[in-house]
Amino acid sequence: MASGISVDIFGPDLAVVMVQAGWGVEHKDTIVNALKETTGINDVRVRVGWDRVNKDHGGEGLKEGWIEDEKEGEEDGTSFTIMENGVKYLYNPGETQKTGFYTDQRDNRSLLSSLCSGKSVLDLCCYVGSFSLNAVVNGGARSTTGVDSSAKAVGLAADNARVNGVEGKCTFLKDDVGKFMKRMREEGESWDVIVLDPPKLAPTVKGLSRAVTKYTTLNRDAVKLISPSGGILLTCTCSSAMTNGGSDGNLFTETVVKAVRNAGRTGRVLKKTHTAGCHAGGGEYLTALTVAIDPIEGDGGEGEEEV
């Protein structure tokens, strides 16, 4: 990873470059050739990530998406099977967001699986189902429900469950997560473990105030769906402005603590984690908090940071 460039390598056959700076587009050929020489991978594809490539980095006329001369095979549906943490995924870079798979969450998915034995799991903003699949395949979860607003993502998640032979334990639904949580509260539903991994809500510091409100609401509503007997919330932000803001750079933690209180629950922040080790150097844009939510009749217990 470098400023404005990230590379995901999917096994021995494919590398995908995510370009978020105009200089990356300008030197695309050099970057691609260097990757081929270094990795021995011949299929290297380049995707432009943000409109700010145009606005801030001199990428005049570029739109988000694949650079045409680097997307061979996308139109004919070329796909790959990739594996992470022993879980298989069907992968077509032309059918998914960014590089197609969020490798930066690898360690957090593994962490989640260690908390799910015999539990019911709700996976909010589930994308292609990676947290759900880790919970079942590696964690022995009793059941998982994944929710995402993208029909394409939900379809891929269901396909991935079938590839891993766990479709009977995984349900994936297309829905707005906010509306879904409201409906589930009204119906009295709850889960033992909840994952909340929304898209970037604060792309820049300018949008931070609005993002804090949104993160507070989403986390509050998720906590309200934790089982009355207690459970776990794994909540994430991929907005560096959230990770680095607030007092002592703990704005996201402060926001989640407030959300738990607003939900009328108590608990403890057990762990704060960031990206997988292969993303060293820029890893703190992603923050995940593992929060133990106490039973409704509980006294708060002991822990590293009480909410």
Task: Tell how strand 43-48 and strand 65-66 pair up.
Answer: antiparallel
Which one is catalytic: 125, 170, 238, 278? 238
- Whether the CB-CB separation of 183 and 222 falls below 8 Å is answered with no
With tokens 């606005």, the residue in question is 55
Q: How many angstroms separate the CA atoms of 55 and 168, rounded?
A: 47
**Angle of helix 130-137 versus helix 106-113 axis, rounded to 10:** 40
- Whether the CB-CB separation of 105 and 128 falls below 8 Å is answered with no
Q: How far is CA 26 from CA 7, 22, 23, 59, 119, in A?
A: 16, 6, 5, 8, 49
3-state secondary structure of 299: coil
What are residue 292's DSSP bridge partners?
Answer: 232, 268
Active-site annotation holds for 236? no
Cα three-residue angle 52-53-55, rounded to 5 degrees: 55
Q: How many angstroms separate the CA atoms of 227 and 72, rounded?
A: 48
Structural element, H or E, at residue 213: helix 208-223
| Residue among 33, 36, 29 at smallest CA distance from 9 | 36
Active site residues: 238
